[in-house]
Amino acid sequence: MQESKGKDITGSTKGTTDNHALGFIAAIVSSATFGLIPLFTIPVMKAGMTFQSILTYRFSFSAILLLPVILASPQRRKALRITWKQAIEIAVLAMLYFLTAAFLFDSYKYMPSGKSTTLLFMYPVYTAIIMVLFFHEKFSWKTAAAIVLAVAGVAFLSAVKGTGQNQHTAALGLILILAAGLIYAVYLVAIPQTEAGRIDSLALTFYVLLFGFIYLIISTSLRAPGLQPIQDWKSGINLLLLALVPTLISNLTLVVAVKTVGSTPTSILGAFEPLTAVCVGTLVLGEPFSWLDALGIGLIISAVIILLLQKKSQKQVEKVA
């Protein structure tokens, strides 16, 4: 697996230790902020807006917020110059990200949002399988244990009950969210494997959002009722926060994490995503919290600790060598 070494979000060079520290912090911020999606999405859906319209505003607002930051720096403006090959790769990456978001939002109609967002965390399993099968990545027993604990924790947090009339709705929601997890894993793995993944992180994030917006405009125009207007100021604020926190901040830090520490550590550190989702679901959206949920959170935290300890010991071995 090819990884970018020594570049931060502005393209400057850093030492290996600082680079790994930045990557781990970025991965935690990305997963924690991504778990806030239901907090800003559910109120807008309850106000009557379709998930296609919500996603359209989410991607467009995020791109608009990011563009001035890029244009303010001559170095970053140069990063917007991409080749046709990179443009095609970005278009594919954006499609993967768009499908992940669409399946996630659609699943909210069939199951509680906290459980749905938590189930998306199945993507580390898919990521590990993809890396082993196609990129011959080797895993230590500590990494394997971390993945097992994380998946077990998600299992305890994933008691799915349909929000519709029967269990068919629960099954449909489960299929949607598991598909979203698989697509998201492919997205994570694909970033460092492409030429597009080696361009400036801000530029890559902007283009993913821009292409995603184009896909959404096309998709929304083909479905009734089309792009819906923002009905009130509360919905407008929620859409703006949705664009800023779990989209722009989460997506940017995700790219930084994948390019610095790799796909697998980023996926495992995504354990903070279900933790955030469960807290939001319980404290804000009024979803139930049981001892099984507490056990699941404990297992996930254990997985993160194991991973961090493993990386720390690896750095110590490197320093001795």
- Tokens 């070494």 belong to residue: 5
Residue 7 CA to residue 103 CA, distance in Å, equals: 33
pTM to 2 decimal places: 0.77
- The DSSP 8-state label assigned to residue 172 in this structure reads H
Q: What is the mean pLDDT of the chain?
A: 81
Res 12 pLDDT > 60: no
At 95, the pLDDT band (50, 70, 90 cuts) reads very high
Report whether 59 contacts 216 (CB < 8 A): yes
Residue 200 has pLDDT above 60, yes or no: yes
Q: pLDDT band at residue 14, thresholds of 50, 70 and 90?
A: very low
* Helix axes of 16-34 and 272-283: crossing angle, nearest 10 degrees: 30
Residue 7 in 3-state DSSP? strand
Q: Is 13 helix (H, G, I), strand (E, B) or coil?
A: strand
Which residues are registered as beta bridge partners of 13? 7
Highest mean pLDDT among 45-54, 150-159, 165-174: 45-54
Cα–Cα dist 261/18, whole Å? 11
Query: 290 CB contacts (<8 Å, ≥6 apart)?
Result: none
Distance of alpha carbon 76 from alpha carbon 252, whole angstroms: 14
7 beta partners: 13
* Mean pLDDT to the nearest integer, 243-270: 82
**Per-residue pLDDT, 6:** 39
The CA-atom distances, in angstroms, between 27 and each of 32, 150, 169, 204, 219 are 9, 15, 33, 17, 30
The string of pLDDT tens digits covering residues 185-194 is 899 889 888 9
Please give the residue that has the higher pLDDT: either 10 or 121.
121
Rounded mean pLDDT, 152-178: 69
Of the two residues 235 and 288, the one the predictor is more confident about is 235
Q: Give percent of the chain with pLDDT exceeding 90.
A: 26
pLDDT at position 243 over 80 = yes
| Cβ neighbours around 105 below 10 Å, total | 23
Q: What is the pLDDT of residues 259-306, one digit of tens each?
A: 888 877 787 777 788 778 878 888 888 877 778 778 887 887 788 777
Give the pLDDT score at 84. Answer: 93
